[in-house]
Amino acid sequence: MSWPFHVMGFGALAIDDIVYVDRALTAGKGKVTKRVTDHGGNVATALVAVVRLGGRAAFVGWLGEQPLTDFGGSELERDGVDISFAPRHADAAPIRSVITVGPDGDRFIAYDDDVLHGTSQALPDEVLTQAPVLLIDGYATHSEAVVARARALGLIVVADIEWTAGPATDGIIALSDHLVLPLSFGRTYAGENDPAAILDKLWSTERSAVVLTDGDHGSYLRQKDDAAVWHVPAYRVEAVDTTGAGDCFHGAYALALARGEVPLDCVVYPTTAAAISVTARGGRKGLPDDAACRAWMARDDAPVPASIAG
Q: What is the pLDDT of residues 212-255, one digit of tens each?
A: 999 889 999 999 999 899 999 999 988 877 777 899 999 999 99
Q: What is the pLDDT of residues 131-174, one digit of tens each?
A: 999 999 999 999 999 999 999 999 999 999 999 999 999 999 99
Residue 78: HSE in the Cβ half-sphere, 13 Å Cα cutoff: 8
Predicted pLDDT of residue 296:
96
* pLDDT band at 70; cut points 50, 70, 90: low
DSSP one-letter code for 82: B
What is the edge-to-edge ordering of all strands in the sheet holding 229-232?
Answer: 57-59, 7-10, 133-137, 156-160, 178-182, 209-213, 219-223, 229-232, 306-309
| Cβ-contact 81, 103 below 8 angstroms | no
Assign residue 253 a region: left if phi > 0, alpha if psi is -120 to 50, beta otherwise? Answer: alpha
Other beta carbons within 10 Å of 207: 18
How many residues comprise the chain?
A: 310
Predicted pLDDT of residue 114:
85
* pLDDT band at 310; cut points 50, 70, 90: low
Predicted pLDDT of residue 1:
64
Its pTM stands at 0.91
Please state the φ and ψ torsions of residue 111, each to the nearest 5 degrees: -135, 155
Predicted pLDDT of residue 68:
47
Task: Quickly list DSSP for 227-286.
Answer: --EEEEPPP----S--TTHHHHHHHHHHHHHHTT--HHHHHHHHHHHHHHHTTSSSTTTT
Chain-wide mean pLDDT for the chain?
92
Predicted pLDDT of residue 71:
61
**pLDDT beyond 80 at 74:** yes
Predicted pLDDT of residue 2:
81
Q: What is the pLDDT of residues 101-116, one digit of tens each?
A: 888 878 898 988 888 8
**pLDDT beyond 90 at 283:** no
